[in-house]
Amino acid sequence: MRSRLARCDDVYTLRTALAELERLGNYILPPSGLETIPDQLGGVPCDWVTTGQPAGEAVILYLHGGGFCLRTPYIHGALLGRLGELSHARGLMVDYRLAPEYPYPGAVEDCLAVYKALLDQGMVPGQLVLAGDSAGGNLVLTTLLQARDQGLPMPAACVLLSPALDMAVNGDSAFLLRNDDPFFDLGTLLLMRNAYLNGHNPCDPLVSPLYAELHQLPPTMLHVGALEMLQDDSVRLAARLRRAEVEVDLTVWPGQPHVFPLFYQLPEAREAVDRMAQFIRHFTQPHPLG
């Protein structure tokens, strides 16, 4: 599948172009019975995502991608619904504020507020998993960094899909793969980055968590495509997490594009989602003694 977004001169035109992806139902294959239930936690709009199947106490707090500027609830809802169904967990997606209307730190504040609200409501940290793709993967890490530094408990684990972690764009893959990435070109990535930063320092760890101290973070699973410009963000993060003695499971998928698990028709996407569900179940379900 090759569907590179056309180069746009502003975020509003890009939103119109991205809306076309919401109609790729044949690639997404949403699970039957998919339903979203609006809620609000910590003053932030959220959606519980369910397929009507029985779920346990575990919750997947999902932070969607879209370059901090875009939202595709149908595509991300399908992924979260299926992931929750396979891992016997409830899915909660955060509708954080988007740039350019709300640049940094709007999204960072919203995601932390929801995390705190879940804990305040009695959510058991060992039953909570944070997951996110692209910009959402960035926000997963910034949420964890703030929670750690504020003395809040860590979740059981986190799952990152093609996370965008370096707003300074220092990874080699951003340039070496700029003509191979099926979805994005470098200009589009910089357009969304600049809208989010709004002049803020791109090396601030709360916008580029690759530059943060990464100790005491939960076990982390990473999936990234070998064709995408953001590949090095995941590879470098995995190396830094290992140096910080954090458990890491990284897979670089040959021939795959940015956030390919969204497109469930692909056999690689189905395998990746199955592995994510196993990872979530492993860290959220009680293990028998012995």
Split at pLDDT 50, 70, 90, the class of 23 is low
Tell me what the mean pLDDT of segment 17-44 comes to: 83
What integer pLDDT is reported at residue 69 of this predicted model? Answer: 95
258 is catalytic: yes
Catalytic residue among 64, 76, 223, 258: 258
Catalytic residue among 134, 162, 208, 234: 134
| Predicted TM-score (pTM) of this structure | 0.94
Q: Is 213 a catalytic residue?
A: no
85, 223, 228, 234: the catalytic one is 228
Q: How far is Cα 140 from Cα 160, in angstroms, rounded to an integer?
A: 8
Give dist(CA 156, CA 256) in Å, integer.
28
pLDDT of residue 278: 98
- The 10s digit of each residue's pLDDT in 92-132 is 999 999 999 999 999 999 999 999 999 999 999 999 999 99
- Predicted local distance difference test score (pLDDT) of residue 22: 65
DSSP string, 12-75: HHHHHHHGGGGG-HHHH-PPTT-EEEEEEETTEEEEEEE-S----S-EEEEE--STTT---HHH
